[in-house]
Amino acid sequence: MYYKLSNTAELEEVVRTFERPFKYPNLYAPEVVIFGLNEVTLPVITIENSQEISLAIWGMLPTGYKEDWPVFQSVTNTLNLSQDSIEDSNWQSEAFRNRRCLIVVNGFFTSYFKDGKVQPHYVSLKSKRPFTLAGLYNHTEDGFLSCSLLLGKAKGLVKQHQNLSNQMPLIIEEKRINSWLDETADIDELNYILKNAPTDNLNIHPIAADLFNQDISYDAILDPIQN
């Protein structure tokens, strides 16, 4: 399960990269490690507000849900949703048709089990620029957004650097952004975008095992180590 992301970009860099302002700029702050099992927010670009960058709670809640976020996540964790299984759930498939979003990150993490140890790796663009991952979102009863990360079959460099999962987050490259956020896009086109998510132009390197400690986060945790 992917439950940690990284977003180290300053607000100005995000705005410049995606040519969109933040809806709530004072609420944005870079985070070296975003730990999704806590109630955290992610910067997102949504279908209904595609010209601004909003914030959404990580871990999608069903429309109309009235209890607290941790209660639902303890029953069924929606930090991640599999592309292959969303059609099996009415509320998830409805969000896939109508409420897609882009989740802004600088990187994500993979894990590789070898010699009795689990080694984390950091995945980012070679350019180190922010990029977007495929996501879905819903509205909460009190007007907030909640979102989930979409996962697809692992491939390319990502597959080579993880062996504890056969899935990976799906990058939406710049030329596909408008199609992903198109309200009239058909399901076949959307699935094509997801199945052809790029894995080139990525940099992957091993990092400190401190990543697995949810209470530890520091700038150098993303630095390459010898393994």
Whole-angstrom distance, CA of residue 123 vs CA of residue 110: 7
- CA distance to 94, 120, 146, per residue, from 206 (Å): 38, 6, 31
Tokens 């882009």 sit on residue = 102
Question: What size, in residues, is the chain?
Answer: 227
Whole-angstrom distance, CA of residue 115 vs CA of residue 113: 7
Whole-angstrom distance, CA of residue 116 vs CA of residue 114: 5
Tens of pLDDT, residues 146-198: 999 999 999 999 999 999 899 999 999 999 999 999 999 999 999 999 999 99
Tens of pLDDT, residues 30-72: 999 999 999 999 999 999 999 999 999 999 999 888 889 999 9
- Where does the pLDDT of residue 215 fall: very low under 50, low under 70, confident under 90, or very high at 90 and above? low
The domain 4-222 having CATH identifier 3.40.190.10: the answer here is no
How many other CB atoms are there within 10 angstroms of residue 208's CB atom?
A: 18
Domain coordinates in residue numbering, the chain = 4-222
